Amino acid sequence: MSVLALPALAQRAPHTPPIDAPAVRQSHPRLVFRAPAAPGPGRTFEDLRRLYRTDAFFRQTFDLALAACEKPAHPAMAAACWVVSAEDKHAHAAVQLMLDAPITQSGSGGYSNVWSFALAWDWLHDHPALSGDIRHRAAARIAERLHTELAQLDDTGMALWHGRNQAANGAMSAALALAGLPGQQDNLRRATGHYAEALRALQFSEGWPEGPSYWIYNRTLPYALAADCFLSATGAESVAGIPIRDVMAKIGLWTLYSFGPNAIFEPYGDSVGSLRLGETGMWEASIDYFARLSRHPGAAAAADYLRLRSPAPYGKRPIHWYAALAYDPGVRPGAGYDPQRPELWLRANLPQSMLFGRNSMGVAFMRGGWGDPNELYASFKAGDMLAHHDHYNNGHFSIQLGGLLAPLTGLYGGGATYTGAYRLGYTIQTVASNSLLVLAPNETSRALLSQPNRPWTSLSGGQRVINPTGFDCLSVADFRRLLTSTRHLERADITAVSTVPNKLDYYAADITASYNSTRFAEPGSAAKVSRVTRQFVYLRRERAFVVFDRIDTANPAYTPKFLLHSMSKPEASAGRLLAGNSPDDGILETSARTLLSSAGLGALTHHILLPAAARTLLIGGPNFGSYVEHDGDESNGFNGTNLQPTGGEGKPGPKPGGRWRVEVSPASPSTSNLFLNVLVPRLAADSSAQPQIEMLSAGPDAVAVRVGQSAVVFSRSGKPLDSVDLTLKPALECWLLDAAPGVRSPACRVPPQAQ
């Protein structure tokens, strides 16, 4: 039997629906590139050589690749250098690597490099250095590894929004390279099935739920490469009904919107490294790639935007050869576009706010003036559980203006610290975010109790910890099954979304299911809430945010809390030290209803409007920055723990550890609790007047607040409002956010799609 026709393994992949193998172009090259006379997508080798002669950026970047190719790290790198330079020494180096270098296997935290061998084999297919038996030997090595990769994918050991997608993308590229050889038709069919599931996952999430670090290191370039290989090898623009170019466009836009004015990619999930441009170069390479594949003008402008802001485009690692695959100036927007000022096109053509994964990941970004170093930028998060590197912080928002004014906190990194108390007890938990706590005594989770040696077992008032260190979701269908069974991955429902350009962005979410609730509580845990909702409003004219929360607890003894983190100690009227070492290192109580914090060039004024009678704590300092009330009970005093980062977690990075936070709770116990907070960010040097902020009378069913020249009205109970008893001054613009369908108010506007 030919080694290309290895015996098929018993099928163990009910998670992968049957799919027909695609028709594949017979000629080579067919991955990424095409022969001059071949029809369909893909550039020719001569196209790349011409680009090298005529485009200054490509030539400068690829000169670095050619220098690195004197000692190439893998076959595709050497083969790409041959494609662009036509120097046969690179072809011979690629062939030698194809024959001698190890083809690694996916599993145990590593991923196969079979894709590199497949690319080189395809590109050099007709080169004399790969003729005859040498070509057969190289193909046999690829086939053998493809065989084991498909066996891994048919099994259940890899999670969908983690390693499974990378293995599936690599297998797709290898199967397309070998298509047409003896025994490879079934492998092509199986690889296509797994690839379709990986692509469907990205289409569904519209971003990466593990956070930017896990996305950029092991996910982004494999997704782009497999899409490119499929498009060029088959000529088809969809697989299993999934439009490939549309998926590439959406993930390209997610990349752009998540890049903050502080030059950091918003650090959701387990984020530690590569949050800045120029470190690995993968952000620049991938956004170029998504632009070329999608042909989306917004993605193309985004590619220029990020590249121009990178201190080292395509990074400091030997990945410059990717420019031959990714970079294509021909996809830029048309007439009037200035590639040196892409921010002008972005300001004129892209929405000010965009939501990614409304029914999955649930992350929204609100932008100001693209390219403005003092851009006012905010994000909002409310989604279900897709991956074990996600965190338990639904309802979280962040704000930037001249600095991190409302940051997500919690450090990550460093080997054993992945299962240590600091990550499990602080970084991944609700307390590290700008979300909502509900303290309930001695609350824990099965996932924390099952950790070896139990380094941390408390929820510390936060949301359910479902899978902090491992996951086995295999497909989008499997995810849907797990939403309301077994571990109950369901956590949030984004109930309203609306953007009125230059006036208002509005996101509302029901995050009840994030907590042990009357909808679902883990066995052994009591339901502590029956309802938790958050409404987040950005008033653009006033440059202010209104946050309205409803929390219904199952027991009046359970304490709900509004959290707001800051990089510095909030300024407030004299506070009383309740615990700790000093007013600059401990837990203080203040009666102030207005607090001021600062970061960098920015300052944030925090107005506490509800509860009418509130207890406000300031928690922070060297020994209290990561303080958690581990027993979930403040009635017995502040006897919690300040969790300190250890090992790699302690290294400086772009995401801050805990510094200071405000906790607002009702002064008296109740099962029905409302929170209303207004946040006004300004540059510290801005001497303009703060907007007038006051509660308005709107009848027994509504909560209304004036912020400057705008008013915002919410339903007190959450039931849709049929009418509002509100009299406004003519100059005020009113927004009714909980209107019943079809309601028209003479005093207020109902934002589109907000009902």
Per-residue pLDDT, 416: 67
Distance of CA 378 to the CA centre of its chain: 14
CB atoms within 10 A of CB 450: 12
Write the DSSP string, 627-645: EE-TTS-STT-S--EEPPP
Rg (CA), the chain: 27
The pLDDT-based confidence of 12 (bands split at 50, 70, 90) is: low
Is 722 a residue whose pLDDT tops 80?
yes
* 585-590 and 576-582 strand pairing: antiparallel
Per-residue pLDDT, 13: 62
Q: Which of 211-220, 281-290, 295-304, 675-684 has the lowest mean pLDDT?
A: 211-220
Separation of alpha carbons 14 and 279, rounded Å: 40
432-471 per-position pLDDT tens digit: 999 999 999 999 999 999 999 999 999 999 999 999 998 8
Separation of alpha carbons 198 and 613, rounded Å: 50
The pLDDT-based confidence of 665 (bands split at 50, 70, 90) is: very high
- CA-closest candidate to residue 728, choices 742, 708, 744, 743: 708
Domains present along the chain, CATH in parentheses: 45-349 (1.50.10.100), 353-568+601-689 (2.70.98.70), 692-755 (no CATH)
Is 133 a residue whose pLDDT tops 50?
yes
359-388 per-position pLDDT tens digit: 999 999 999 999 998 999 999 999 999 999
Residue bearing the bigger pLDDT, 723 or 313: 313
Averaged pLDDT, 288-295: 98
Per-residue pLDDT, 730: 82
Averaged pLDDT, 596-604: 97
Burial of 585 by CB count in 10 Å (0-12 exposed, 13-18 middle, 19+ buried)? middle
178-224 per-position pLDDT tens digit: 999 999 999 999 999 999 999 999 999 999 999 999 999 889 999 99
C-alpha distances (whole Å) from 42 to each of 288, 293, 391 are: 15, 10, 40
Per-residue pLDDT, 8: 55
Residue 602 DSSP label: E
Per-residue pLDDT, 39: 87
pTM for the model stands at 0.96
Provide the percentage of residues in the chain whose pLDDT is more than 70: 97
Quote the longest CA-to-CA distance of the chain: 86
Averaged pLDDT, 690-703: 94
Burial of 36 by CB count in 10 Å (0-12 exposed, 13-18 middle, 19+ buried)? exposed
Provide the percentage of residues in the chain whose pLDDT is more than 90: 88
Is the backbone peptide bond immediately before 182 cis, with ω within 30 degrees of 0? Answer: no
Partners of residue 704 on adjacent β-strands: 696, 713
Is 11 a residue whose pLDDT tops 60?
no
389-412 per-position pLDDT tens digit: 999 999 999 999 999 999 999 999
Separation of alpha carbons 56 and 395, rounded Å: 46
The pLDDT-based confidence of 122 (bands split at 50, 70, 90) is: very high
C-alpha distances (whole Å) from 200 to each of 151, 170, 205, 366 are: 20, 16, 9, 26
Is 577 a residue whose pLDDT tops 70?
yes
Amino acid identity of residue 289, one-letter, is Y
Separation of alpha carbons 729 and 257, rounded Å: 37
The pLDDT-based confidence of 746 (bands split at 50, 70, 90) is: confident
The pLDDT-based confidence of 645 (bands split at 50, 70, 90) is: confident
Average pLDDT of the chain is: 94
Query: Helix 220-234 to helix 165-178 angle, to the nearest 10 degrees?
Result: 30
Separation of alpha carbons 634 and 632, rounded Å: 7
Separation of alpha carbons 426 and 401, rounded Å: 26
Query: Helix 297-308 to helix 342-349 angle, to the nearest 10 degrees?
Result: 140
Q: Which two tokens stand for residue 160?
A: 């969908």
User: What is the CA angle 627-628-629, rounded to 5?
Assistant: 130
Provide the b/e sequence for 361-381 (b: ≥16 CB within 10 Å): bbbbbbbbebbeebbbbbbbb
Whether residue 282 contacts residue 310, with contact meaning beta carbons closer than 8 Å, is answered with: no
Query: Which residues have CB under 8 Å from 574's CB, separation 6+?
Result: 590
Per-residue pLDDT, 18: 82
Separation of alpha carbons 383 and 206, rounded Å: 12
* 733-736 and 710-715 strand pairing: parallel
Averaged pLDDT, 651-658: 83
The pLDDT-based confidence of 2 (bands split at 50, 70, 90) is: low
Per-residue pLDDT, 7: 61
Q: Which of 88-102, 358-372, 540-554, 729-743 has the lowest mean pLDDT?
A: 729-743
* 660-666 and 614-620 strand pairing: antiparallel
Separation of alpha carbons 681 and 228, rounded Å: 43
Is 10 a residue whose pLDDT tops 60?
no
12-21, 419-428, 685-694: which is most confident: 419-428
Is 317 a residue whose pLDDT tops 60?
yes
